[in-house]
Chain A
Amino acid sequence: MLLLAKAALGLGAFVAVAGAYVFHEGVIRVDVDESRGDCNHVHFWVPATVVPVALHVVPRQQLERAASQARPFLPVLREVSKELRRYPNAELVDVRNSEEHVHISVRDAHLYIDAVSNGDNIHVSLPVETISDVADRLESVAPGV
C-alpha cells in the first residue's frame, strides 16, 4: 500500500513537473473564423515549448529552404523579438475603419495579432520567446545572415 502511494506521488509529481515545463513558455493560440466562402473555423492551442522541439525534427532541407526565403527578414525578426522582450505590455499598431480592424499588441510577453474584416475574425497570440526561438533556429541553418 505504501509502495503504491509512493508510486502515485512520484507519478503525480512527474505529471506536475512535465505539465509545468510544457506550458512554462506559454501557449500559441490561433483562432480563425470565416463568415464567407467555405466558412472555415480553425481553433487550436499549442504549447510554445513544442516549437523549438518541432524545429529540430523538421527535415534540414525543408528548414534550409524556409530559411533562405526568410533570409532578408531574419535580422529584423531577430532584433524585433529581442526588443519585444523588453516591452511586455504595449499597444503597437491599431488600424480601424468602418469595415476592418487590425490590432497588434504585446501583453504579458505574448504578441497578439487580431484582425477583423467583414465578419472574418483572425486572432493569433504567441509568446515573444517563440519568435526568438524560430529566428535563432532559422539563422542557425542560414549562416551569414
Chain B
Amino acid sequence: MHHVRGFLGFAAATLLAGCVILPAPSVAQTASKSDQWIHVRVENKDDNGETVRVNVPIEMAEKVLPAINHDQLQNGKVRLDHCHMNDVDLRALLDAVRSSRDGEYVTVQSNENDVRVAKNAGYLYIHVTEKKPGENAGKHAAAKQGSSKAFVGKESRVEIKIPMKVVDALFSAGKDELDVVAALRALSSNGDTELVSVKDDENTVHIWIDSKNVSD
C-alpha cells in the first residue's frame, strides 16, 4: 500500500513538473501560413561589401507602426509637408490614374534620364533610369559610339511596382497624409510581389514581399 502511495506521489510530482517545464514555444501562438513578410536587401559594392537584410512580418509592422510617433510619422500615417508638394494635387493625380485604362502615361527619354510610368493589370509601374556620365566608361563610350552615347557609362536604375489597391490605401487617409498602415494591410492581401528594385554602381536595393520568413 505504501509502495502504491509512494508511486502515486512520484507520478503526480513528475506530471506537475512536466506541466511546468513545458517550454514557452509550445504555448506561444504561431504565425498563420498566410502571413506575408516584407524583405529589404541592400548590397553595397564598395570594398567594405556591406550587406543589409531585414525581414519583417507585415502584420507585425501594421501593429508596431501606429506605436511610433516621431516627426512626420504619427499613428501610422505620414504627414506630407505641403511645402514640398510643389502644389501637385496627388489625390487628383491618383484619381486620374485609377480611372484611366491600362497604358503608358509618361515616357521620357533623354541623354540624362529615361522615365516610364505605366499602369497594367492592377499594378502601377514606375521605371527611372538615370544615366550618369562615367569618367572612364564615358570616355570609352564616347570614343566608340559618339558623344550622344557618352552617358551610358554609369547608370542607376529604379524599378517600382505597386499594386493599385496599395496606392489607393496609401492615399486613403486624407489630404496631405499617407496611410502607411492601410497600405501594409493592402500589401499583405496581395500575395508575393516585387516592389522596389534599385541598381547603380554602388548599391543594389531590393524590396519584396513573400510568405518566407528568411530572405533568399
| A residues whose Cβ falls under 8 Å from a Cβ of B | 2, 5-6, 9-10, 12-13, 16-17, 20-21, 23-26, 75-76, 78-80, 82-99, 108-109, 127-129
Q: Which residues of B contact A (CB under 8 A)?
A: 2, 6, 9-10, 13-14, 16-18, 20-25, 28-31, 35, 44, 47-57, 59-60, 63-64, 67-68, 213-215
Chain A contacts for B49, CB-based, 8 A? 97-98
Alpha-carbon separation in the docked complex, A7 to B215 (Å): 56
10 contacts between A and B (CB under 8 A): A24-B21, A24-B22, A24-B23, A82-B63, A84-B60, A86-B29, A90-B57, A91-B53, A95-B53, A129-B24
- 16 new A-B contacts, CB < 8 A, other than A6-B6, A92-B56, A95-B53, are A5-B6, A9-B13, A17-B13, A17-B17, A17-B20, A20-B18, A23-B21, A24-B23, A24-B24, A80-B60, A86-B28, A86-B30, A87-B35, A91-B215, A109-B24, A129-B24
- Beta-carbon contact of A93 and B54 below 8 Å: yes
**Distance in Å: Cβ of A114 to nearest Cβ of chain B:** 14
The reply to whether B55 and A91 contact each other, CB–CB distance below 8 Å, is yes
Is A91 within 8 A of B57, CB to CB? no
CB distance from A64 to the nearest CB of B (A): 21
A16 touches B17 (CB 8 A): yes
